[in-house]
Amino acid sequence: MTAFTVRLSDATAAKLDELAERLDRPRSEVAALAIEDFVEREAWQLAEIEAGLAEAARGDFASDAELAQVIARYVKPAGQV
């Protein structure tokens, strides 16, 4: 396990302390969990972006029918409430 120093604003440190107290966990554990979550989420997001860019480079786009199907799930026809 690696240990290192992280500088936080006073406001963020206070929020971290409050959260750690509410969770009854050490501040270092809560901070480590937050960093792990951030790293995993950012790695996933970057992988998805890279996959999308690779699809676009191959010309692999949704067809008009596929796009219309997705839009229809979220947009109601005019006159419907």
pTM tops 0.75, yes or no = no
| 8 A C-beta contact, residue 31 and residue 6 | yes
Which two three-digit tokens encode residue 29?
């554990």
Predicted local distance difference test score (pLDDT) of residue 39: 98
Predicted local distance difference test score (pLDDT) of residue 54: 96
The low-confidence residues of the chain, meaning pLDDT below 70, are 80-81
Helices (H), the chain: 10-23, 27-57, 64-74
Which two three-digit tokens encode residue 31?
């901070």
Predicted local distance difference test score (pLDDT) of residue 77: 77
